Amino acid sequence: MIYNICKFSTFNLYNTMTRMKEPFKAREDKKVKIFTCGPSIYQRAHIGNYRTFLFEDILVRYLEHLGYKVERVLNFTDVEDKAVEEAQKQERDIKELTEDVATKFNEDITLLRIKQPTHNPRSSTTVDQAVKLIRELLKKEIAYWYEGNIYFDPLKFNGFGKLYGLDMSLWPKKKKRFKKDTYPGMRWNLGDFILWHGCQEGEKVCWDEELGSGRPSWNVQDPAMVTKYLGYKIDICCGGIDNLYRHHDYNLAIVEGVSGETFANYWLHGAHLFVYGKKMSKSTGNILYLEDLLKDGYKAEHVRFYLIYSHYRERLNFTKNQFKKAVKMLDEFKKLVMELIDRTSCNSDAEIDPKAIELIVELIPSFNECMNNDLDVRCAFDDMLETTAKLVKYKQDGKLRNTDCKILERDLREIDSVLQVIFE
């Protein structure tokens, strides 16, 4: 289990690279650069996708709560193989298709109170940077041409697969090339991966660049977007656990292959959301969208709370009963908060109990101690719920003053600047 009662006085994050919780230290004092893998906008995002974006939102908001200035890239992938194929299937222009999905995504994250990133680039707007990276890799002979395409040779990059923990001694001796952007399944493609798709006659999604007519592969699109806006060295790289297979090691190898320096100091990966024990998929017919839950009468804040309440590194299994329990818990907590901060029912002349003073003083420090343990939202919320219930009892007994209620509202609003589930 992820959850425990251990608390931390400094901010600690579980770093996938080291498989350990480590104290967070920014490269620059009080400034943090974060890259969060954004959606592929050829299809709508479901609540499993939003679980990842929500843990990243909590990370950004908590860093800001601690006083950091956060610069974040959340990218849109709009020209990968799947987007091209979907546009052809629907007989639509790829820009029109992806623009519709992007609009829906922005509507959803507004409802879920996910902060807009500092930068929101698209693959199609950073082709120039992708070309720059590929040219550098060609110069260093880490990349090479083959039948009109450009491939990355993992054997030319020292430390390939280090994020996943790939055993390169098992790498096949016979050369093999993988020319698709992505391949199905959580598995490794043991061979050279594509960086540049040379365009064939009749293809519509192409750029005329120094490399010739073509388009950058999915593998190089993220490195292009992050390096164009954040540079070659960042603090944190985030994404879903599926990115541990191929994608993030490809990104790392491309950026470090060009720069020769460590790309990200911390790597964070969120676990999947299952629905009734099964992974969401079109074939299963169990994909859940935000609007499905809103149509059932729930609020976006209920969905947000349900998705952040379980630890981001632990697989979450959605069932209606578990969801309803989370909704009930949040609604009851909000009632307690409203009763607590209502200053009209405070006793101005109360002799406050020392234990109540201790609870008030420790509200934010207790929240921080839990959150410092790798963003343990469940611990933080449970502590806050217990404290709030106790303070409501003190108030009902006439032992909270007007000023105490005012302080509690201020501190709860500060906590909610991170959680975004208490106040409207």
Who has greater pLDDT, 140 or 201? Answer: 140
pLDDT band, residue 185 (cuts 50/70/90): confident
pLDDT band, residue 1 (cuts 50/70/90): very low
- Most confidently modeled range among 168-182, 252-266, 398-412: 252-266
- The string of pLDDT tens digits covering residues 354-387 is 899 999 999 999 999 999 999 999 999 999 999 9
Q: Kindly tell me the sign of the dihedral angle through the C-alpha atoms of 197, 202, 204, 208.
A: positive
Task: Locate 318 and state its tokens.
Answer: 């959605």
Mean pLDDT of the chain: 94
What local confidence, expressed as pLDDT, does residue 86 receive?
92
Walk me through the domains of the chain, giving residue ranges and CATH numbers: 12-279 (3.40.50.620), 320-419 (1.20.120)
User: Which candidate, 183, 150, 188, places its Cα nearest to that of 171?
Assistant: 188
Q: In degrees rounded to 5, what are phi and psi of residue 23?
A: -60, 135
pTM value surpassing 0.75: yes
Cross-sheet strand order for the sheet of 278-279: 278-279, 273-275, 316-318
Who has greater pLDDT, 204 or 40? Answer: 40
- The string of pLDDT tens digits covering residues 314-363 is 999 999 999 999 999 999 999 999 999 987 777 777 777 889 999 999 99
**Amino acid at position 201, single letter:** E
> How far apart, in whole angstroms, are the C-alpha atoms of residue 35 and residue 119?
10
Give me the residue label for tokens 């994250």: 109
Host H or E run for residue 246: none
User: Is the model's pLDDT at 2 over the cut of 50?
Assistant: no
Task: Locate 178 and state its tokens.
Answer: 């993988």
How, if at all, do strands 177-178 and 234-240 pair?
unpaired
> How far apart, in whole angstroms, are the C-alpha atoms of residue 71 and residue 152?
29
What local confidence, expressed as pLDDT, does residue 4 receive?
43
User: Is the model's pLDDT at 3 over the cut of 50?
Assistant: no
Q: Are 236 and 59 in contact (CB under 8 A)?
A: yes
Host H or E run for residue 370: helix 363-371
185-263-24 Cα angle (round to 5):
100
Burial of 30 (0-12, 13-18, 19+ CB in 10 A): exposed
Read off the pLDDT of each residue in 208-229 and give the average, rounded to a whole number.
Answer: 96
How, if at all, do strands 20-23 and 234-240 pair?
unpaired
User: Is the model's pLDDT at 399 over the cut of 90?
Assistant: no
Q: Are 184 and 215 in contact (CB under 8 A)?
A: no
Lowest mean pLDDT among 19-28, 30-39, 281-290: 281-290
User: Is the model's pLDDT at 141 over the cut of 60?
Assistant: yes
Q: How many CA atoms lie within 13 A of 225 on its CB side?
A: 28
Percent of the chain scoring above 90 in pLDDT:
87
**Amino acid at position 356, single letter:** A
Helices 363-371 and 354-361, interaxial angle, to 10°?
A: 40
User: Is the model's pLDDT at 5 over the cut of 70?
Assistant: no
User: Is the model's pLDDT at 23 over the cut of 50?
Assistant: yes
Q: Are 296 and 266 in contact (CB under 8 A)?
A: no
> How far apart, in whole angstroms, are the C-alpha atoms of residue 11 and residue 152?
37
User: Is the model's pLDDT at 93 over the cut of 50?
Assistant: yes
> How far apart, in whole angstroms, are the C-alpha atoms of residue 363 and residue 411?
7
Q: Are 63 and 51 in contact (CB under 8 A)?
A: no
